[in-house]
Structure 1
Amino acid sequence: MVKRLTAAWVCVLWVTGGLVGQEVLTAQQFFEQVAQRYAQIKDYVADITITTPQSVMRGTLFYKRPGKLRIDFSEPEDQVLVSTGEELLIYVPSERVVLQQSLSGSGLQLATGEGLALLRRNYSIAYLEGPGYVSLDPEELVAAGKGSPEPVVKLNLTWRSTRVGFRQIIMSVGQDGYMRRLKGVTVDYQEVTFDFVNIRVNQNLPDARFEYDSPPSANVYYNFLFNPES
């Protein structure tokens, strides 16, 4: 279970920021505006839902530039993800384990500019349905009361290199200029969806918010994603 969610957690490290786009622009120009907006955000708080084929996770996301990120999950209860930009820590209470990963030299960057540079470097960028606003969810889901008609602009990112974790990433940008949803298709064609709501930017988050001491009874597994020296 933990293994399946690894790609989702790593993807969180790429997409911590807000988006903006007002004029009719090419997809690349729109993406560059995204990068500029990311760089202006000092910190933010958002409610996040991560949906995979196996589970739905919900929690509160905290981000602070440069490189600090934390998610306190309500589902699964008491699960925590913390990253300093140099180290990633995930506490999984159901397994009583702490997963700890050194990010030094890994290319995983939490600073918003670096995150978008990673996407720009490894993905081709286009509009999914043109530069105009479309419904966040398909009309049939909205009609059935199972989706949101919220207007968004959708960017379609397709991989240039098989070394990245997602074949395709769809970014959905709301009318308020912030990312509303991100959907990724993994190497083995599994979908991982991130929904962001109730976004509050520049909240003057203290550094102490990103400090975390795991329970002493938990088993610790180091470098569970990769060897940082390889």
Structure 2
Amino acid sequence: MKKFMFVALCLAFPAISIFAQGITTASDYFKTISERYSEIQDYEADVIIKIGKSEMTGRISYKRPEMLRIDFSDPAEQVVLFNGNDLTIYLPGSSAILEQSVSANDAKGANAATAEGLALMRRYYTVAYQSGQSAVPLDEGSDEMVVNFLLQRRSATESFREIKLSVDPSTKLIRRVHATTSQDEEYVFDIFNYKLNSNISDQRFIYDPPSSANNYNNFLLSE
């Protein structure tokens, strides 16, 4: 009987080894995504942002190391711009320009879909699969397949309690970011139609808002 069990284990061991080689830990998989983004110098993509019941749509432009711009089509003409030093938000509905100086260290990684943002996530959040290593539909009934990750904060000082990332397994690009705050407020970013490494000019990140709008400086620090 013991001889039989030994033979059975010997026969099973190669199969177990082959199976194990096909398993990638969530941390290792997440690292390949970071490596993918480290190859990207710039990109443009369509974005849909949902905050609670509000929804906005626009086109996002990003250039390393930390320039970011979103031109919204809904709300029309709204713009969010970060040029590496200053954050500018134009709100056409209020005819207001919000401006804030932001240090590079504070701003780095603010956009999850960057190498810097992913590095900060690995540092401050634990990474696990939400639904396993295999790709699943992005939404119920969808033909679009993604691998889902669940990131949970290591410290209560982080603004987001948890972050769910949906990644296209063929491109290693982030398709959706679903972030939840401590107050259970939800922010969902759908990013798609990427255009990579098209040598975006720095001029893209210069914005001249309407002179008729009211300026509000240091709005993040105002009461």
> TM-score, normalised to structure 1's length?
0.80
Match of 1:157 in 2: 151
RMSD: 1.8
The structure-2 alpha-carbon separation of the partners of 1:107 and 1:24, relative to structure 1 and needing over 3 Å to count, comes to farther
The alignment covers a number of residue pairs equal to 197
1:7-50, Cα deviation, whole Å (9 max, x unpaired)? xxxxxxxxxxxxxxxx7411111111111111110101100000
Matches of 2:56 and 2:123, distance apart in 1 = 29
The runs of 5 or more residues in structure 1 that have no matched partner are 1-22, 143-147
Matches of 2:219 and 2:24, distance apart in 1 = 41
> Following TM superposition, by how much is the alpha carbon of 1:99 offset from its aligned partner in structure 2, in angstroms?
1.3
Matches of 1:105 and 1:70, distance apart in 2 = 16
The structure-2 alpha-carbon separation of the partners of 1:205 and 1:103, relative to structure 1 and needing over 3 Å to count, comes to same
The runs of 5 or more residues in structure 2 that have no matched partner are 1-21
Match of 2:126 in 1: 124
Matches of 2:195 and 2:104, distance apart in 1 = 31
Matches of 1:178 and 1:115, distance apart in 2 = 13
- The residue type equivalent to 1:195 in the other structure is D
Stretch of structure 1 that moved more, 188-197 or 71-80: 188-197
Match of 1:13 in 2: none
- Percent of matched pairs sharing the same residue: 44
SS of aligned partner of 2:122: helix
| Residues 130 and 148 in structure 2, CA contact (< 8 A), matched pair in contact too | yes
1:160-217, Cα deviation, whole Å (9 max, x unpaired)? 1222221111110113321111111122101111111111100111111111011122
> TM-score, normalised to structure 2's length?
0.83
Match of 1:92 in 2: 91
Does residue 178 in structure 1 map to residue 173 in structure 2?
A: yes
Does residue 211 in structure 1 map to residue 206 in structure 2?
A: yes
Larger radius of gyration: 2
Matches within 5 A, 1:50-199: 50-104=49-103, 107-110=106-109, 112-137=114-139, 139=140, 142=141, 148-174=142-168, 175-199=170-194
| Residues 59 and 72 in structure 2, CA contact (< 8 A), matched pair in contact too | yes
Matches of 1:217 and 1:73, distance apart in 2 = 20
Match of 2:9 in 1: none
Matches of 1:102 and 1:164, distance apart in 2 = 21
The structure-2 alpha-carbon separation of the partners of 1:118 and 1:162, relative to structure 1 and needing over 3 Å to count, comes to same
Stretch of structure 1 that moved more, 213-222 or 83-92: 213-222
Matches of 1:129 and 1:63, distance apart in 2 = 30
Runs of 4+ in structure 1 off by over 3 angstroms are 110-113
Matches of 1:68 and 1:105, distance apart in 2 = 10
SS of aligned partner of 1:153: strand
